[in-house]
Amino acid sequence: METTILGKISEIYFGKKDQRIGLWITLSGSSSVQSSYDCWDPEDIKITENTKWTEKDRNEQLIVIMRKLSELLKKAKVNDIQDLKNIPVEITFSKHHLDSWRILEEVL
């Protein structure tokens, strides 16, 4: 069962958490949920023989993170990551789990 609610970006953080680097976004409406785009920080986590991914994989993830940030800034019509706070969003849940979300460009 899908449920869609209206909300806003209530918190946004770009940096490091638990040896990961990326973008963390808290979406708030009638409830709050966090979405993230992140990967292992290359300055903290080195590839070993036990690593199940390559440096190329990590580089591709870093590109995805930066492209997502660029996309969000453009859709919200802002230039600074902190200006994403309070931007209206539509949040879709499936079976009580975050399925997707989007910036409500049509109201900006």
The total number of structural domains in the chain stands at 1
| 80 belongs to a structural domain | yes
Q: What pLDDT, in 10s, does the model give residues 52-89?
A: 999 999 999 999 999 999 999 999 999 999 999 999 99
- 39 pLDDT tier (thresholds 50, 70, 90): very high
Smallest CA-to-CA distance from 9 within 36, 42, 49, 47 is with: 36
In this structure, is the dihedral angle defined by the CA atoms of residues 41, 99, 6 and 77, taken in order, positive or negative?
positive
Percent of the chain scoring above 90 in pLDDT: 95
Domain interval for residue 54: 11-85
How far is Cα 108 from Cα 105, in angstroms, rounded to an integer?
5
Using DSSP, state whether 91 is helix, strand or coil: strand
In this structure, is the dihedral angle defined by the CA atoms of residues 52, 57, 59 and 65, taken in order, positive or negative?
negative
Overall average pLDDT of the 102-108 stretch: 96
| 42 belongs to a structural domain | yes
| 4 belongs to a structural domain | no
pLDDT for 31 beyond 90:
no
| 16 belongs to a structural domain | yes
Overall average pLDDT of the 95-107 stretch: 95
| 53 belongs to a structural domain | yes
- The pLDDT assigned to 40 comes to 97
Number of Cβ within 10 Å of residue 61's Cβ equals 17
Q: Is the entire prediction scored with pTM above 0.75?
A: yes
